[in-house]
Amino acid sequence: MKIRIDKASCVGNARCAAVSAELFPLNEDGYIAVEEIDVPEGMEALARRGARACPERIIVVVEE
């Protein structure tokens, strides 16, 4: 599983990081720091919750 993020559209709500700071790291300004993440085994549910938590819907979970 991967997560793809439209980083340019992030407005810094940080709801994804509240679900999992490990999967959704923020930069020093509070915006998402990455555009793609390989989800470690066992963290799939957190990845889905983090994507759902984003009010802008800029996080897409890609099932492989």
Q: What's the average pLDDT block by block, 10 residues per block, for the chain (64 residues)?
A: 96 96 96 96 97 97 91
Which residues, in sequence order, are bridge partners of residue 62? 2
What's 51's domain CATH number?
A: 3.30.70.20
**SS3 label, residue 63:** coil
Q: Give how many domains the chain has, as a whole number.
A: 1
Q: Please tell me the predicted confidence (pLDDT) of residue 12.
A: 96
pTM over 0.85: yes
Q: Please tell me the predicted confidence (pLDDT) of residue 64.
A: 80
Contact 55, 13 (CB under 8 A): yes
Domain span including residue 10: 2-62
Q: Please tell me the predicted confidence (pLDDT) of residue 30.
A: 95
